[in-house]
Amino acid sequence: MRYLTSGESHGPQLTVIVEGVPANLEVKVEDINKEMFKRQGGYGRGRRMQIEKDTVEIVSGVRNGYTLGSPITMVVTNDDFTHWRKIMGRAPISDEERENMKRTITKPRPGHADLLGGMKYNHRDLRNVLERSSARETAARVAVGALCKVLLEQLDIEIYSRVVEIGGIKDKDFYDSETFKANLDRNDVRVIDDGIAQAMRDKIDEAKTDGDSIGGVVQVVVENMPVGVGSYVHYDRKLDGRIAQGVVSINAFKGVSFGEGFKAAEKPGSEIQDEILYNTELGYYRGSNHLGGLEGGMSNGMPIIVNGVMKPIPTLYKPLNSVDINTKEDFKATIERSDSCAVPAASIVCEHVVAFAIAKALLEEFQSNHIEQLKQQIIERRQLNIEF
């Protein structure tokens, strides 16, 4: 299973092609659009999300509500393109026209791809870099993840997410799964404790007033995963490695951990390893879940817990020092329309990126041409955990 996205932040559309989805999977576009809507929400978002109404159009690979087994193409229209039609159009324009539109960017933003991308691809107008490096591309990735969530639901695998921390203000480390699921999306910062939610809003407002931005930590949980998905045999088949690569590929994500994560370094092994237990109903299971459902690069049947760290967004309304690439003189960095905090939205993106990593691993583990074949293999693997 793989996908490829294309499109620029202010171009006409984002396009994604997904290959490897089994045939006969029932897909409703409204289920995908429900996930797209979640990505647009969250306290601290900028004006762009008031312009866009992200919905997906499926243009190939699905017929009469069911997948064909062929590549699935989805399109997300950028409504804001109407305001950028000339500057982001395909037809050539003169340097004078470009200058008159005040859209040429020569002052790179610290922490963004602007400067290095300009060097690498020899772009003197850094807009050519930021249009593709923008987090707008994650709308296409959420569409892919939403499709994967439809697949996972058919396999009785649940995946959900929350915000753990914003700007140093922390929610509780762990909740039981029922409390977690019962309180999803209860507020606009995606935490479970309402008192903590208000403190986070205040922190976001403070950053916005100061022309600054703040980051945080998000958490994704995958439940009812069959055992043994992934492998210890080769580094590139380890499930935690694949999930980690996906998470840190999200714009502004700078770290990932599993289960108790970096706290494991503070404790002895006797308090971190999860004891193996058995009963005839569940088969093998663990008495705790400090390791986050992963051992030796494989799923162990316990909930997979993924924590992702997002740095503050690099676009600041009170910009940092930079250098003009043409004159080499000191300037303040370019200001682009942006969010003061995108952590709640990023939790949705992370959830869908993990959904793809899980779906991809499952389809490699249980190679299947159609959904019925895949379901049967999953049933057999779950039975193996009892009978082994």
pLDDT value of position 56: 96
The residue ranges of every structural domain in the chain are: 2-387
Which of the 8 DSSP states describes residue 20? -
pLDDT value of position 302: 97
Size of the chain in residues: 388
Residue 343, phi then psi, degrees to nearest 5: -60, -45
Contact yes or no for 103/334 (Cβ under 8 A): no
pLDDT value of position 122: 98
**Distance between CA 223 and CA 292 in Å, rounded?**
11
Which of the 8 DSSP states describes residue 230? B
Q: Which residues does 281 contact at the CB level (< 8 Å), separation at least 6?
A: 386
pLDDT value of position 335: 77
Q: Which residues does 379 contact at the CB level (< 8 Å), separation at least 6?
A: none
Please give the structure tokens belonging to residue 371.
């959904």
Instruction: Name the pTM for this structure.
Output: 0.94
pLDDT value of position 295: 98
pLDDT value of position 339: 82
Binding-site positions read 39, 45, 132-134, 251-252, 296, 311-315, 337
pLDDT value of position 308: 98
Contact yes or no for 381/226 (Cβ under 8 A): yes
Strands 72-77 and 321-323: unpaired
List Cα–Cα distances, 178 to 143, 181, 301, 344, in angstroms: 26, 5, 17, 21
**How far from chain centre, in Å, is Cα 239?**
17
pLDDT value of position 176: 80
**Distance between CA 66 and CA 264 in Å, rounded?**
44
**Distance between CA 356 and CA 145 in Å, rounded?**
5
CA dihedral 264, 266, 270, 276 (to 10 degrees): -10
CA dihedral 33, 38, 40, 45 (to 10 degrees): 180
pLDDT value of position 90: 86
Could you give the residue ranges of the DSSP H alpha helices within the chain? 29-40, 48-51, 95-100, 114-121, 127-133, 138-154, 177-182, 194-209, 239-248, 343-365, 371-387
Residue 64, phi then psi, degrees to nearest 5: 50, 35
If one counts every other C-beta atom within 10 angstroms of the C-beta of residue 85, the result is 11
**Maximum CA extent, the chain:** 76
The CATH architecture to which 2-387 belongs is 4-Layer Sandwich (3.60)
Nearest to 85 by CA among 58, 59, 103: 103
Contact yes or no for 220/145 (Cβ under 8 A): no
pLDDT in tens, the chain (388 residues): 999 999 999 999 999 999 999 999 999 999 999 999 999 888 876 665 556 788 999 999 999 999 999 999 999 999 988 888 888 888 887 877 777 776 789 999 999 999 999 999 999 999 999 999 999 999 999 999 999 999 999 999 999 999 999 999 999 876 788 888 888 888 999 998 889 999 999 999 999 999 999 999 999 999 999 999 999 999 999 999 999 999 999 999 999 999 999 999 999 999 999 999 999 999 999 999 999 999 999 999 999 999 999 999 888 888 889 999 999 999 988 877 778 899 999 999 999 999 999 999 999 999 999 999 999 999 999 999 999 9
The H or E element that residue 332 is part of is: strand 330-332
If one counts every other C-beta atom within 10 angstroms of the C-beta of residue 30, the result is 8
If one counts every other C-beta atom within 10 angstroms of the C-beta of residue 173, the result is 12
Binding-site positions for FMN read 132-134, 251-252, 296, 311-315, 337
Q: Which residues does 84 contact at the CB level (< 8 Å), separation at least 6?
A: 10, 11
End-to-end CA distance of the chain: 29
